[in-house]
Amino acid sequence: MNKSQLIAELAKKMDISQREAKVIVDTVFEGLEEALIKGEKVELRDFGIFFVREHKEFSRKNPRTGKTIKVPRRRFPRFREAKALKEFINSVDDQPKSQ
């Protein structure tokens, strides 16, 4: 499912326009992004936790030149699924194939 499909599904289930559904979805994603940029965890109970993992700056030798270079600090968004979500997914017998 992509973002457009999510918006269409939300509009259908809530009986609202796709424009209104898009505003809702965009607002949720913006809030998630803002929290992650601040380094905050976003916990959705029984679904999972979004968080940022950080790799600190370090030095490494360039294998071609032998010179030491600095690899800058990097941050990666991560998601850890909740036990309830894993159990739910594994309890469903007929899973549709992913597209």
Q: What is the CATH number of the domain that holds 34?
A: 4.10.520.10
In a domain, 59, yes or no: yes
Domain annotation covers residue 99: no
- Structural domain boundaries enclosing 46: 3-91
Q: What is the rounded CA–CA span in Å between residue 99 and residue 88?
A: 21
Task: Show the tokens assigned to 43.
Answer: 């916990």
User: Is the pTM of the predicted complex or chain greater than 0.75?
Assistant: no
Residue 26 lies in a domain: yes
Angle at which helices 18-37 and 3-14 pack, to 10 degrees? Answer: 120
Residue 41 lies in a domain: yes
Whole-number Å distance between alpha carbons of 14 and 20: 10
Query: What is the tally of structural domains in the chain?
Result: 1
**9 in a domain, yes or no?**
yes
- Sequential pLDDT tens for the chain (99 residues): 999 999 999 999 999 999 999 999 999 999 999 999 999 999 999 999 999 999 999 999 988 999 999 999 999 999 999 999 999 999 987 666 665
Helix residue ranges per DSSP H, the chain: 3-14, 18-37, 83-91
Closest CA to 85 of 49, 56, 33: 49
